[in-house]
Amino acid sequence: MRRAAGTVEGASAGDVFAGQPCFFGPARETVAFVLLSVYNEDGGNAMKRRFPVRPVRQEAALRGTGTEVKAKRMEQIIIHVDMDAFFASVEMRDNPALRGKPLIIGSLPGERGVVATCSYEARRYGVHSAMNIKEAFRLCPNGIYMHPNIDKYRAVSGQLREIWSAYASAVETIALDEAYLDVTAQAGDLEGARRIARTIKQRTRAEIGLTCSVGVAYSKTAAKTASEEKKPDGYFEIPTPEDFVSLIIDRDVRVIYTVGQMTAEKLYASGIRTVRAIRENPETVIRLLGKQGQWITNLAFGIDDRKVTPYCPQDAKSISREVTFQEDVTHYGFLRDVLVLLALCVEHRARRYGLYGNGVTLKLTYFNMKSITRSRLIPACDSAVMIWRESARLLETVEKRPVRLIGAGIYNLSGEEGRQLTIEDFFDDARARRDRELKELLDGLQNRYRLDFAGHLEQLYQADTLHRTVEYMRKHMK
């Protein structure tokens, strides 16, 4: 194990520092890990990661360092609040006739799309969020289906935020109904955090008429896991990494919240089914999944020292671009192509401000000046491909009448810093795939309109060039 003095100042590009070794876990299976800081070309701190090294005996590790294992205290106390079936609960609160019914908010049966949220009554039929609406309808044909009313939920979200902010030094909103709170200073200790959690739950019920689940823990990951643990109207705490590990060690790898279906299947194929197996085979996991594998391994050891980063999405509302045609358009294939350019413009602007959306909107104004918007919740959405794909799907759901204006955008914005870790952050090939898809889209446009889109993206981001290009495309569409 390499050791360094612990200072990381004055490092230059490519330097890797091993910080002080730390220890987790009961003595028999103590894991030493080192904190590595990797620096950008410009000297900025690109990332800090703790790399576990082979399990060692605590005594042996200590002999090597001369340090003592200090009594554990909570360096951070983090609360994760998650509203229960948020959209559905708001609708049920406001309309007593919906209470006790299987209520499904999202797309309507017959539309393409997914379930955004559903009531617990609907969950009894096996319906869950992100489920294809067709499947939901098959399982629950007698459910009540509604489109989301995002403006209303956003207003409630603002009220929630006021409550949360009263007890935290930082609030990181990761969805309208979900946030991390850093309560380290306000709580002082675990008992203080319990009091805060209780107060938040009481006030949410009394002032807003909704229930939430609250997790208290030493890390963001553990807090999120804790709030899931006793849903709905739950409370759970995970004070230490040991508690976290002993809670999840025999569970399926999917308990680690960045492990989705695809990642899980890769792990299963290598015989890794549980968190325990990840801990026992870190090399395999890292070989299989690269950076993401490193992150998953860290989480399997309870390691996550990410901070709660304050962000107030209410500051920014949405980013969108639209174009008005010189003549009304009836060719919807052409509209899909225009959406590629709009998505690129939205992506460009979002990246410039370090923002990403948690939903995609499509706006159309028909020939008779009637405007409609359609939206769909998509977490961590900032790539042109995602924006295009979702807005194009939304386009399929609308009434096909002549169109005068089309717009695409993202909403429910969050900052780069507050970005919830997604698989894509750790998955270089996911990013590569996205780039490939974008290239395919642009090649398709080039074939259809005989314009070099890829070579002129910078110009396309300018409103007048965009309009001229779209008009050119309209006149030359096949």
178 is catalytic: yes
The structure tokens listed for 328 are: 């009304």
Distance, CA of 406 to CA of 324 (rounded, Å): 7
Cβ(140)–Cβ(128) below 8 Å: no
From 80-88, 302-310, 367-375, 419-427, span contacting Mg ion (CB under 5 A): 80-88
* Catalytic residue chosen out of the listed positions 111, 172, 178, 390: 178
C-alpha distances in Å from residue 328, one per residue of 288, 364, 385, 393: 51, 11, 26, 21
Minimal CB distance residue for Mg ion: 82
Cβ(115)–Cβ(145) below 8 Å: no
Q: How far is the CB of 220 from Mg ion (least distance, A)?
A: 16
Distance, CA of 256 to CA of 277 (rounded, Å): 13
Question: How many residues sit close enough to Mg ion to count as binding (CB under 5 A)?
Answer: 4
Asked whether position 91 contacts Mg ion by CB under 5 A, the answer is: no
Asked whether position 82 contacts Mg ion by CB under 5 A, the answer is: yes
Q: Which is nearer to Mg ion, 129 or 281 (CB)?
A: 129
Asked whether position 390 contacts Mg ion by CB under 5 A, the answer is: no
Q: Which is nearer to Mg ion, 228 or 471 (CB)?
A: 228
From 85-93, 181-189, 338-346, 447-455, span contacting Mg ion (CB under 5 A): 85-93
Q: How far is the CB of 446 from Mg ion (least distance, A)?
A: 43
Distance, CA of 415 to CA of 380 (rounded, Å): 10
Q: How far is the CB of 41 from Mg ion (least distance, A)?
A: 40
The structure tokens listed for 61 are: 């590790």
Asked whether position 179 contacts Mg ion by CB under 5 A, the answer is: no
Asked whether position 420 contacts Mg ion by CB under 5 A, the answer is: no
From 74-82, 226-234, 346-354, 414-422, span contacting Mg ion (CB under 5 A): 74-82
Dihedral through CA 338, CA 340, CA 342, CA 346, nearest 10? 170
Nearest one of 333, 327, 366, 367 to 449, comparing CA atoms: 333
CA atoms in the 13 A half-sphere facing the CB of 363 = 19
Nearest one of 296, 340, 300, 301 to 321, comparing CA atoms: 340
SS3 helix, strand, coil % of the chain, rounded to 5?
45, 25, 30
Q: How far is the CB of 83 from Mg ion (least distance, A)?
A: 5
Asked whether position 177 contacts Mg ion by CB under 5 A, the answer is: yes
From 174-182, 295-303, 308-316, 400-408, span contacting Mg ion (CB under 5 A): 174-182
- Give me the residues that bind Mg ion (CB under 5 A), please: 82-83, 86, 177
Active site residues per annotation = 178
